Amino acid sequence: MTTPLLDVRNLYLHYADQKGAVHAVDGLSFTLPGKGHALGIVGESGSGKSSLALAIMRLLPTNIARYEGEIYWQGSAISDLSDAQFRREVRWHKIALVPQGALNGFNPVLRVGDQIIEPAVAEGRLPKRAARARAQELLELVGLPVETYDRYPHELSGGMKQRAMIAAALILEPPLVIMDEPTSALDVSVQAQIMNLLKHLKKELGLSIIFITHDIALASDICDSLAVVYAGELVEIGHADVMLTAPQHPYSQKLLASIPRLHDRQLPEFIPGAPPDLRQPPTGCRFHLRCPLVFDRCRVASPPVFEPEAGQETRCWLLDPGDSEPV
Ligand code: ATP
Ligand code: MG
């Protein structure tokens, strides 16, 4: 097997708050195989998707109760790097982030171009002239006029700001960009334009993408593989075509059934109940309180990973061939 581009093993990020520890990322493991691959991370609001992005990028708030796990970039353990090394060698270089709510991410009093080149000039990686030329190329690549460089953020529409944010993420030519809900604040036609831009970047630059969204239909538009997260855990991952036609986890099935379909008489389903409090995650399978197929074992023991198909991993006791040890 070839070495994956990104390999995340047992990643934890818990926040401390007045009432305890919020288990936002709770032992997540997954791999992103290689160049030009888009992995979708799908799950309900509050399931820990943005926290996962921040944990990978080491962009952490101060109230951390637990942060650990191994992260490998092409086989080398970037989780072992010091913060200074990580900043110099990984963040924006190898992995960039377009954060959630990025439309409000620009500083209103600085010109857009100066903000795009900031990571490149901040540590003297590129002289300002070269950075400016690169930023202008990137603005064209993302479909913006080069004059956007000298504009202030308030002069740009939402779609233009999102394009400029994507250009900013690409300034140091990272092979992987994490996009956290890149289109949720945009109307549907601008959303479609941004999706087309992402497909273009994936194809033309061989850019790999971690595409975070609560919208599985949107993820299916660009993703080669899909991971479903629930209450801080990854419950299922697999090739997008399998996940969209034959997901095995009841939660993935519910997510899929909640998509409205144009030519289907069946009404979209909704998922009953509410996501659990991540300060006190349920025992056993975290989905058991809402699962239509729950049985005794689900309430007490956390399911291990089963592999119903090659390349598909599902944490659900229904797939137990009968000889697994409860964990
Ligand atoms: P959404 O789809 O709404 O963006 P999400 O899946 O990205 O949600 P996160 O933002 O990662 O979810 O939040 C996961 C959990 O962690 C939530 O319960 C949230 O309230 C909590 N949380 C996030 N940031 C902090 C923080 N700094 N301190 C304490 N709790 C936090
Ligand atoms: Mg989020």
CA angle (216 as vertex; 50, 8 as ends), nearest 5: 45
Higher pLDDT, residue 265 or 56 = 56
How far is ligand 1, taken at its centre, from the CA of residue 25, in Å?
A: 9
Q: What is the pLDDT of residue 226?
A: 97
Higher pLDDT, residue 202 or 19 = 202
How far is ligand 1, taken at its centre, from the CA of residue 21, in Å?
A: 12
pLDDT at 120 over 70: yes
Residue type, 96: A
Helix (H) or strand (E) holding 216: helix 216-222
Ligand lying closest to the C-alpha of residue 46: 1
Q: Which atom of ligand 1 is nearest to the CA of 48?
A: 11
Sign of CA pseudo-dihedral 304, 308, 310, 312: negative
pTM of the entire predicted model: 0.94
- List, for residues 172-215, the tens digit of each pLDDT value: 999 999 999 999 888 888 889 999 999 999 999 999 999 999 99
pLDDT at 249 over 90: yes
pLDDT at 258 over 90: no
How many residues would you count in the chain?
327
256/243 Cα distance (integer angstroms): 9
User: 61 CB under 6 A from ligand 1?
Assistant: yes
How far is ligand 1, taken at its centre, from the CA of residue 236, in Å?
A: 20
For 110-180, strand residue ranges (E) read: 176-180
The confidence band for 2, taking pLDDT boundaries of 50, 70 and 90, is confident
How far is ligand 2, taken at its centre, from the CA of residue 288, in Å?
A: 23
Terminal C-alpha separation, the chain: 28
317/326 Cα distance (integer angstroms): 9
The confidence band for 157, taking pLDDT boundaries of 50, 70 and 90, is very high
User: 101 CB under 6 A from ligand 1?
Assistant: no
Helix (H) or strand (E) holding 27: strand 20-32
How far is ligand 1, taken at its centre, from the CA of residue 324, in Å?
A: 33
The confidence band for 323, taking pLDDT boundaries of 50, 70 and 90, is low
Query: Which protein residue has the closest C-alpha to ligand 1 atom 26?
Result: 15
The H-assigned helical ranges of 142-267 are: 158-169, 188-205, 216-222, 240-245, 250-257
- Contact criterion met (CB below 8 Å) for 214 and 48: no
The confidence band for 325, taking pLDDT boundaries of 50, 70 and 90, is low
Q: What is the pLDDT of residue 272?
A: 80
Tokens 């069946």 correspond to 266
Residue 264: other Cβ atoms inside 10 A = 9
Query: Which protein residue has the closest C-alpha to ligand 1 atom 14?
Result: 48
- List, for residues 27-42, the tens digit of each pLDDT value: 999 999 999 999 999 9
Ligand lying closest to the C-alpha of residue 47: 1
Mean pLDDT of all residues in the chain?
Answer: 92
User: 22 CB under 6 A from ligand 1?
Assistant: yes
Q: What is the pLDDT of residue 92?
A: 93
Residue closest to 287 by CA, chosen among 238, 253, 241, 323: 253
